[in-house]
Amino acid sequence: MTWLFPLYLLGAAAVLGPILMHLRRRPPQERQDFGSLMFLDAQVPMPVSKRRLEHWLLLLLRCLLLILLALMFARPLWRVEQAGTPGEGKAVMVLLDRSASMRRGDLWPKAVEKALAHLATAAQDRVAVAVFDRAWTPVWTFTEDRESAASRTAVIRQRLAEISPGWAGTDMGQALLDASASLGSEPGLTGVSKRIVVISDFQEGSRLDALRSRVWPETVSVVADPVVVADLNNLSLSWVASGGEEQLIAGNRPTGTRLGRVRVVNSRESKVEDYTLAWEKGGAEVLSGHLPAGASRVLSAPPVADAVLARVVKVGGDVWDFDNRVFVAPPQPRRVRVVFVGEEKSREEAASPLYYLSRALQQTPALLPELAVVAPSASRLPPETDMVFVPAGPLSEPMVKGLRGWLEAGGTAAVVAGEGMGPALRTLSGQSVTGISLADEKSGDYRMLGEVKSAHPLMRPFADERLRDFTKLRFWKHRRLELAKGAEAVLEVIARFDNGAPALLSQPVGKGRLIILTSGWHPADSQLALSTKFVPLLYGWMEAAGFRNEEASSLLVGDALPLEPGEAADIMKPDGQRLAVTAGTTVRAESVGFYSVGGKQPRQIAVNLPPEESRVVPLDPGKLREFGVVLDSAVAALPGTGLALEKERLAVGEQEGRQRAWLWFLAAALGVLALETWLAGRMREGRALAT
Amino acid sequence: MPTALDTVALARIRSLELRAKVIVEGLWRGLHRSPYHGFSVEFSEYRAYVQGDDPRAIDWKVLARSDRTFIKKFEDETNLRCQLVVDHSRSMKFGSGALIKGDYAATLAATLALFLMQQGDAVGVTTFGKTLQEHIPARNRPGHLRRLMLELEKPSPEGLTSLDLSIGQLAGLLRKRGMVCLVSDLLAPVEKLEQQLALLGAMGHDMVIFHVMDRAEIEFSFEKVAHFRDLETGQERFVDPGLAREAYLQRFNAHRDFIRKACEHQGIEYHEVPTDRPVEEVLFKFLSARSRKKGGLRR
């Protein structure tokens, strides 16, 4: 039995009052005037030591009444244990947090120690041990426990000694769900009380949202056993955004430029407020500043002295440096080899398609298009061609065949249909297009796009409806395609003119894709090249061809490394370990730092710590209750967190509210009071009769 | 018996004179209803003429009005001198009820004075504490009653009850024989008291003693243990009423019995007057006793 307001028990000391009052012969405090003392004898007051209690039954009742009142106000309750008592045989799953925040101080050794202590108290129980960060990894399973329970402690100790905290974030919710699922699915545990012991730093950044997705089983209780560090000062750093595109072009960084922005965050209960910010190597100067506890600030990265060396920004000022670095990979635009089948000399002619294409395909932080021109009479494409543009014009037979082969192998080609290109298109499209004729448009008349399938992958840049205004785009000249029967099944019309004639078509050819335009982009055919839609359209096609024009955002630990699909790669981890990956394998980043991915286009990938992991202020384990988790009443609240105590008090209060044991004490007190009144009345009556 | 006005109601009447009037009026009304009508100490009235009466005494006005012959007694005819001796010692300050003993004694004396003066007797007042304090000789003249009242109304009794000194002095002052009414709580050693009472009896006065007692003194009905303080001497004594009651009552009753016996022995009329008894009732009993003693009223 415990008490909700134990301080009220002090009220029981009030029994001293009746005891003193019941001591006979207390020295009189009152004066009584009287006519004459001639008939009265003097009496000596009885000394304190000789006093005796009178009316002890009445006194007993009065004391009992006061004690009952004190007990009532202290609000007694019986703690209902969620799990069975030790020795009854339980299934205990010990979960150890091995997230990056457990790297602080001696948290991990402490956690291991606690886990072993839990094992020692659970000698009669079925035990499993697992570690978790963003995922749940078993260390010792119930099956192993069933088979070799005798060697349990030694094996677990050894296995835990081999594990150390990683760099991943904490998904406590998922870990709990996995653990409870494991407890639920394990054979031989039916009817046994199940308990999960979570040993963690219960940092604020722990994810619990997975718990919302499922109803927590009533039969599984959770014991939260927090490990704490005294020092809660923590400064953390994360990458916000890269700087302007012009600054990111490798090799063009002048000394003193600032590269991108970083966010510095000071932990809520931190006492450190001054920080320094600098590149670990290759920095020009060290920035310092003041950041109050709980605040965050986005700052420009410090100036760079050596652009090649400047790859790690570091914040200084706190003790825990696991989250003090941010890794910034150098910009590595992907090379895209674009081939234009036409005349090289037309590159500077304003009327030619090449003129516009060469100006549209500019370098971006993510892509580095390299435009090569191949004469139509050439027999084959250059090796390692990524994309081909074919303007309206005659093509040599070998070129058409080469192109067809290249398309089947996975290439993407955009072909402008022109007069006399019927046979070539027939070959390229695999007989879908049977002929081409010039649409008979009156002179001075124009066509506009009437129907655009903006949901098509080729039109992805126009997915946003604000960008879908094609009304200013006019086409002076276009061709009609004669399509074979059943060609609609393979030849997809992406855009039509307002007269219903197809404007843009797409057809998969083998592994590749053929894009057919019925009107060219150069001014003789249309205004397309001069419109704002042209460049996005080209990059949309390049994206469809596998060249996404987006700077890969910084990866976090646990994310999959962006490997070329269907391609084996050689990966070098930040610790220098090499990993050969076969095609189709997913590799997740496990550590912060730079991953070097080899292959056709070798590049460096920066992997950083999940920012939530830096939120190290302890979380109240009682918060788990909000997610429906049956938290064992023996939950160890974090010392020094008032909120935790308050939550615990509320939970106990709730329990007390259900039991309402105080009502019994009140009833007993009223009964005693009635008895006391009756007894006192009877005694007074007796005295009155006597006198 | 007249309807008694209880002491609580009486205590609400501030003026002693008014208090006395209320009582006396009640007493008169009661007398007319009473079967014992017509008794008094000294009574002046009309009565039917009988042969042999002095025709000068016939009230001619009444004869003219009612055609009946009545003898009119002169109002200024005085043949009783009454000296009211009132105890003003500090012990008279005690009172557990509505009135303290001192107030009750003053009311009783004032009522007697008014009653007697209304029937034409001469009344005087003597107050005493340790010694004689004030002496107003018995008279019956206009304004005398007011003087008596003022004397009786004097606040805060003082001094010890010292009957021997006071009565000694009083004996010197009372030359003419008459009635002496002593209103006191008689809280004095009994040995001296007997001597003084004998002295007064020997002087030939018609002695009446009104022994004023509080109910708490008679029954010693205290509950709480306390330091009891003597009002006369200021001396304090620790007393547990539960333990002391028996001895107290024994001694008190012995004292009272002694006084009663001494009075009986000396031919002194003795009246026990607890302060919770209505004054009218006391007066009525007193008058009844007088009538029985003298075998009828003087007509």
ipTM: 0.73
Residue A372 has pLDDT above 70, yes or no: yes
Tokens, residue A31: 């004066």
Cα end-to-end distance, chain A, whole Å? 50
Query: Which of A145, A154, A135 has the alpha carbon at shortest distance from A92?
Result: A145
Tokens, residue A287: 């920035």
Residue B251 has pLDDT above 70, yes or no: yes
Interface contact flag, A25 B238, Cβ < 8 Å: no
Mean pLDDT of B245-260: 90
pLDDT in the model for residue B279: 85
DSSP 3-state percent helix, strand, coil across chain A (nearest 5)? 30, 25, 45
- β-pairing, A235-241 vs A261-266, is antiparallel
- β-pairing, A193-200 vs A220-226, is parallel
DSSP, collapsed to helix, strand or coil, labels residue B237 as strand
Residue A526 has pLDDT above 80, yes or no: yes
Cα distances (angstroms) measured from residue A265 to each of A239, A274, A495, A646: 11, 11, 49, 28
pLDDT digits (tens, 9 = 90+) for A530-579: 999 999 999 999 988 888 777 666 788 888 887 776 677 788 888 888 88
How many angstroms separate the CA atoms of A625 and B62, rounded? 113
Chain A closest CA to B90's CA: distance in Å?
8
pLDDT in the model for residue A551: 67
Nearest to A33 among B229, B243, B251 (CB): B229
pLDDT in the model for residue A578: 86
Chain B closest CA to A682's CA: distance in Å?
17
Mean pLDDT of A223-228: 88
Interface contact flag, B231 A36, Cβ < 8 Å: yes
Nearest to B232 among A36, A39, A45 (CB): A36
Q: How confident is the model at residue A657 (pLDDT cuts 50, 70, 90)?
A: confident
Q: How confident is the model at residue A521 (pLDDT cuts 50, 70, 90)?
A: very high
**AA identity, residue A426:** R
Q: How confident is the model at residue B28 (pLDDT cuts 50, 70, 90)?
A: low
How many other β-carbons are positioned within 10 Å of the β-carbon of residue B194?
17
Mean pLDDT of A163-172: 90
Interface of A to B at Cβ within 8 Å reads 25, 28, 30-45
DSSP state of A569: E
How many angstroms separate the CA atoms of A622 and A208, rounded? 12
pLDDT in the model for residue A638: 43
Strands (E) located in A589-633: 593-597, 603-608, 630-631
- A49-58, A286-295, A565-574, A628-637: least confident range: A628-637
How many angstroms separate the CA atoms of A513 and A491, rounded? 11
In terms of average pLDDT, the best of A25-29, A182-186, A685-689 is A182-186
CB < 8 Å to A28, chain B: 224-227, 238
Q: How confident is the model at residue B76 (pLDDT cuts 50, 70, 90)?
A: very low
Q: How confident is the model at residue A666 (pLDDT cuts 50, 70, 90)?
A: very high
Cα distances (angstroms) measured from residue B230 to each of A373, B219, B237, B255: 138, 17, 8, 18
Q: How confident is the model at residue A250 (pLDDT cuts 50, 70, 90)?
A: very low
Mean pLDDT of A629-641: 58
Tokens, residue A434: 């049977």
Vertex A571 angle, CA A566 and A572, to 5°? 175
Q: What does pLDDT average to over chain B?
A: 78
Cα distances (angstroms) measured from residue B53 to each of B12, B48, B76, B78: 48, 10, 19, 19
DSSP state of A9: G
Residue pair B243/B225 in contact (Cβ under 8 Å)? The answer is no
pLDDT in the model for residue A319: 84
In a mutational test of the A interface, the residue from B90, B223, B237, B252 whose CB has the highest number of chain A CBs within 10 Å is B237
Mean pLDDT of A205-229: 87
pLDDT in the model for residue A87: 44
Query: Which of A419, A400, A409, A640 has the alpha carbon at shortest distance from A510?
Result: A409
- State percent of chain B over pLDDT 90: 7
Tokens, residue A654: 């709730």
How many angstroms separate the CA atoms of A480 and A469, rounded? 24
Residue pair A651/A625 in contact (Cβ under 8 Å)? The answer is yes
pLDDT digits (tens, 9 = 90+) for A299-311: 888 888 877 788 8
Mean pLDDT of A513-524: 91
- Quickly tell me which residue has 């894009």 as its tokens: A515
Chain B closest CA to A41's CA: distance in Å?
7
In terms of average pLDDT, the best of B8-12, B70-74, B283-287 is B283-287
Q: How confident is the model at residue A354 (pLDDT cuts 50, 70, 90)?
A: very high
- Quickly tell me which residue has 């496990």 as its tokens: A590
Interface contact flag, B229 A31, Cβ < 8 Å: yes
- State percent of chain A over pLDDT 70: 89
Residue A241 has pLDDT above 80, yes or no: no
